[in-house]
């Protein structure tokens, strides 16, 4: 949904909990790995290749550097191994080497570059680097043996910090999770499957991005009833004068919420729900089969069991108990919400013969209900969220709560003129790093919203590197005389993704593998989801809103209605989140052969109340979280939301702009990155075990 961590790090993430990182100037790895500090904004463009030739050169040059560094690490005799020359050396190679950061840059080019040839070249390079990392690090028994020599030798007597010991224990556990303890024949199978899965995952996500930029429907002017003139005027047209509606998020949500013509909503819903189909259905079936085979080789009953084994939840059964209990509690609320919404249907909407809501009508019904009963129109509310002003004010919220400062400016020599630069500093002027903003849609660009750490914050000898991150989104662009206006949902998305970026900025650690957002996957959404709730506070909404014509903040009556409606449709919304979480489990439970469509249909009809299942719906083909870092762990959004609201409830008692409680939050949670068990971080901040009281109250279920 919101977070992407790019792939080179994921290749070794099961070996070490690796974050993405650029490299720094450093001598301990030998002359072949001397890294340039990023000390100024002028140096940022060097992180991203400019030509196809540069992509090819980076791939060759930096794989050679890493090979030399790995060979040097392996060559150390067992009796001479120390934390620095073995554990830290491996951390540097897998999190701070030139190859890692150049790979990050290439992967970002694949997702955001406007030129298709550059995207294709970057894609091919990333596939090559995937194979290289698997052979050289992730499935290299000699690396494991070197680390094991240290673990069984000097580790027992060396004086280390708690973070360093946690790194060693987590690393040894993860070495075994990738099969390095297996006989050579089995390890070779693991290695080959891992390579194949890396390619399939990359292609799955690429298919989504490419198809989102191409898929569309065409309609006549009569098919756009209910949409405003500025939006209609911004649409491209066919040669015969019809209007082109793409499936990019700004277009899709505007149409599905506001268009009064059912056929238009239906056709666009079908286009949106079939992005990357049938290609990704074929790929998903291959991924399911290969992940199941991989899990068995590694000693697990299923890929879901393997994927959750090292998370906060630990077991599939615990996740199922959590989701099952939540879905049971949500059911009566969702039924009540559907009954209320369908009691007075808007014109152009009818129920099925079975009394169910057609899926392309649901958002329109909700929007019309809010307009009728609460005088809430998302398009009118958007007039109070001019994009640049909203961003400026949201940054000021972070500025006060987290005791940091920002400087925003344009930046040249990157992939597109829309990219902005945010310099992040402490209150006393010490620089934490740089954040790049790329927030408007383009053909071929990554289609969701995401934050990616490019250069991790690392503290060595009392000094820290500059963190570099990218925040991608697809917010509405200016239309006619109107400036770019955010939907309120867009503001929430920005706040969420910026929360990840701040976790990356403030989570500088000794071990680069633990920096920032490199935490357990079912905890990573906690900080960002917690910050979303700031946007339901009246004082915060008054602060950040500004009508683009009058300069007035959002009126009190609208704010009161928004707060009153906070949990108005939480039953419906979280049933869908629960469906996604359960699908991600079901697809990766035991069994090599699965019917993605059949599972989707069965679970939809079991879990979702009052809504028709559309036979043409292929949600799984565009469900990017099934690949990469999430896999079977999509439950993490709901799981971490429980903790997020517990922390928010505690913070709100002190004040949402209170820098003192903000600093406590930084010290206890954000600054630790992944260097400590998340369960302990929660207790450190709360002073008690977390609970679900605030979560259930927020959903209207207490």
Q: What is the CATH number of the domain that holds 470?
A: 1.10.1370.40
262 and 187 assigned to the same domain: no
Residue 123 covered by a domain? yes
Residue 382 covered by a domain? no
Residue 1 covered by a domain? no
**CB 469: neighbour CB atoms within 10 A?**
29
Closest by Cα among 539, 536, 526, 610 to 571: 610
Compute the distance between CA of residue 222 and CA of residue 159 in angstroms, rounded to an integer: 75
Contact 588, 303 (CB under 8 A): yes
108 and 160 assigned to the same domain: yes
Residue 682 covered by a domain? yes
Q: How confident is residue 2, by pLDDT bands cut at 50, 70 and 90?
A: very low
Peptide linkage before 616 cis (omega within 30 of 0): no
Q: Which of the listed residues 222, 246, 272 is the one where a domain comes to its end?
A: 272
Residue 2 covered by a domain? no
Instruction: Tell how strand 243-246 and strand 420-426 pair up.
Output: unpaired
447 and 306 assigned to the same domain: no
182 and 221 assigned to the same domain: no
Q: Which of the listed residues 160, 179, 209 is the one where a domain comes to its end?
A: 209
**Per annotation, catalytic residue among 497, 525, 573, 602:** 497
426 and 479 assigned to the same domain: yes
Residue 23 has pLDDT above 50, yes or no: no
Residue 33 covered by a domain? yes
| Token pair recorded at residue 293 | 């085979």
Q: What is the CA radius of gyration of the chain?
A: 25
| Token pair recorded at residue 506 | 């403030």
Closest by Cα among 137, 133, 118 to 56: 118
Question: Is residue 169 flagged as an active site residue?
Answer: no
Q: How confident is residue 443, by pLDDT bands cut at 50, 70 and 90?
A: confident
pLDDT, tens only, 472-489: 999 988 877 889 999 999
Beta bridge partners of 245: 217
129 and 28 assigned to the same domain: yes
The pLDDT score that the predictor gives to residue 145 is 95
We report the CATH number of the domain holding residue 364 as 1.10.1370.10
For the chain, percent of residues with pLDDT exceeding 70 = 95
Provide the mean pLDDT of the chain. Answer: 91
Closest by Cα among 485, 280, 273 to 390: 485
pLDDT, tens only, 226-281: 999 989 999 999 999 999 999 998 899 999 999 999 999 999 999 999 999 999 99
Q: Which residues contact 374 (CB under 8 A, 6 or more apart)?
A: 561, 564, 565
Contact 701, 329 (CB under 8 A): yes
Beta bridge partners of 451: 471
Angle 298-88-97 from CA coordinates, rounded to 5°: 85
476 and 598 assigned to the same domain: no
Residue 287 covered by a domain? yes
Closest by Cα among 589, 587, 612, 613 to 601: 613
pLDDT, tens only, 578-633: 999 999 999 999 999 999 999 999 999 999 999 999 999 999 999 999 998 899 99
* Structural domain harbouring 307: 278-376+565-634
Annotate 529-570 with DSSP letters as a single string: HHHHGGGG-HHHHHHH---TTT-PPPPHHHHHHHHHTTTTTH
Backbone angles phi, psi at 244, to 5 degrees: -100, 125
552 and 610 assigned to the same domain: no
163 and 283 assigned to the same domain: no
We report the CATH number of the domain holding residue 65 as 1.20.1050.40
Q: What is the pTM of this model?
A: 0.90
Residue 381 covered by a domain? no
The pLDDT score that the predictor gives to residue 562 is 93
pLDDT, tens only, 383-437: 999 999 999 999 999 999 999 999 999 999 999 999 999 999 998 889 999 999 9
Compute the distance between CA of residue 338 and CA of residue 609 in angstroms, rounded to an integer: 8
Count of structural domains within the chain: 4
Q: Which residues contact 268 (CB under 8 A, 6 or more apart)?
A: 217, 245, 247, 252, 255, 256, 360
Q: Which residues contact 343 (CB under 8 A, 6 or more apart)?
A: none
545 and 605 assigned to the same domain: no
Compute the distance between CA of residue 83 and CA of residue 227 in angstroms, rounded to an integer: 63
Contact 692, 644 (CB under 8 A): no
Q: Which of the listed residues 634, 649, 668 is the one where a domain comes to its end?
A: 634
486 and 549 assigned to the same domain: yes
59 and 81 assigned to the same domain: yes
pLDDT, tens only, 69-117: 999 999 999 999 999 999 999 999 999 998 999 899 999 999 999 999 9
Residue 35 has pLDDT above 70, yes or no: no
């Amino acid at each position: 949904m919101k977070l992407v961590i790019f792939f080179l790090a994921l290749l070794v993430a099961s070996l070490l909990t690796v974050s993405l990182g650029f490299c720094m100037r450093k001598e301990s790895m030998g002359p072949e790995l001397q890294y340039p500090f990023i000390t100024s904004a002028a140096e940022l463009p060097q992180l991203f290749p400019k030509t196809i030739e540069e992509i090819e050169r980076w791939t060759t040059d930096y794989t050679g550097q890493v090979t030399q560094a790995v060979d040097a690490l392996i060559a150390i005799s067992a009796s001479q191994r120390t934390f620095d020359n073995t554990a830290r050396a491996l951390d540097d190679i897998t999190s701070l080497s030139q190859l890692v950061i150049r790979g990050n840059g290439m992967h970002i080019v694949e997702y955001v570059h406007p030129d298709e040839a550059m995207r294709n070249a970057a894609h091919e390079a990333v596939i090559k680097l995937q194979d290289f990392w698997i052979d050289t690090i992730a499935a290299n028994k000699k690396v494991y043996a070197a680390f094991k020599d240290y673990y069984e030798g000097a580790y027992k007597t060396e004086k280390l910090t708690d973070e360093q010991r946690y790194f060693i224990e987590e690393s040894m556990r993860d070495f075994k999770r990738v099969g390095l303890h297996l006989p050579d024949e089995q390890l070779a199978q693991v290695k080959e499957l891992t390579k194949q899965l890396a390619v399939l995952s990359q292609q799955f996500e690429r298919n989504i991005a490419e198809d989102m930029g191409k898929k569309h429907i065409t309609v006549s002017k009569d098919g756009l009833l209910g949409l405003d003139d500025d939006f209609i005027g911004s649409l491209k047209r066919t040669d015969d004068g019809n209007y082109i509606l793409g499936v990019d998020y700004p277009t899709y949500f505007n149409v599905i919420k506001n268009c009064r013509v059912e056929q238009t909503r239906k056709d666009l819903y079908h286009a949106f729900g079939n992005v990357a189909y049938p290609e990704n259905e074929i790929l998903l079936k291959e991924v399911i089969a290969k992940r199941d085979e991989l899990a068995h080789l590694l000693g697990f009953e299923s890929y879901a069991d393997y994927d959750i084994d090292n998370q906060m939840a630990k077991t599939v059964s615990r996740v199922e108990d959590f989701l099952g209990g939540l879905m049971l509690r949500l059911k009566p609320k969702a039924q009540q919400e559907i009954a209320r919404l369908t009691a007075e249907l808007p014109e152009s909407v009818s129920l099925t013969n079975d009394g169910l809501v057609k899926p392309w009508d649901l958002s329109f019904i909700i929007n019309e209900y809010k307009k009728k009963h609460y005088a809430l129109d998302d398009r009118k509310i958007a007039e109070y969220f001019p994009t640049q002003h909203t961003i400026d004010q949201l940054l000021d919220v972070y500025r006060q709560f987290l005791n940091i400062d920002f400087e925003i400016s344009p930046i040249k020599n990157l992939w597109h003129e829309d990219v902005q630069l945010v310099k992040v500093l402490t209150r006393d002027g010490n620089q934490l790093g740089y954040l790049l903003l790329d927030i408007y849609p383009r053909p071929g660009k990554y289609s969701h919203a995401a934050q990616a750490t490019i250069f991790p914050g690392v503290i060595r000898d009392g000094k820290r590197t500059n963190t570099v991150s990218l925040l991608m989104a697809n917010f509405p662009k200016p239309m006619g005389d109107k400036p770019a206006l955010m939907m309120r949902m867009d503001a929430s998305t920005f706040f969420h993704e910026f929360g990840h970026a701040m976790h990356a900025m403030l989570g500088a650690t000794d071990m680069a593998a633990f920096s920032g957002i490199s935490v357990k996957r079912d905890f990573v959404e906690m900080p960002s989801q917690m910050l979303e709730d700031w946007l339901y506070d009246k004082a915060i909404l008054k602060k950040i809103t500004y009508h683009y014509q009058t300069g007035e903040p959002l009126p009190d009556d609208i704010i009161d209605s928004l707060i009153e409606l906070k949990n108005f449709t939480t039953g419906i919304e979280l049933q869908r989140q629960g469906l996604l979480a359960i699908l991600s489990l079901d697809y990766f439970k035991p069994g090599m052969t699965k019917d993605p469509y059949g599972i989707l249909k069965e679970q939809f009809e079991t879990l979702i109340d009052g809504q028709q299942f559309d036979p043409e719906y292929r949600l799984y083909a565009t469900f990017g979280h099934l690949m990469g870092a999430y896999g079977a762990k999509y439950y993490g959004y709901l799981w971490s939301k429980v903790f997020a609201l517990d922390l928010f409830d505690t913070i709100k008692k002190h004040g949402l702009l209170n820098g003192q409680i903000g600093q406590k939050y930084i010290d206890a949670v954000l600054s630790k990155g992944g260097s400590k068990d998340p369960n302990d971080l929660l207790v450190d901040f709360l002073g008690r075990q977390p609970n679900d009281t605030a979560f259930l109250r927020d959903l209207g279920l207490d």
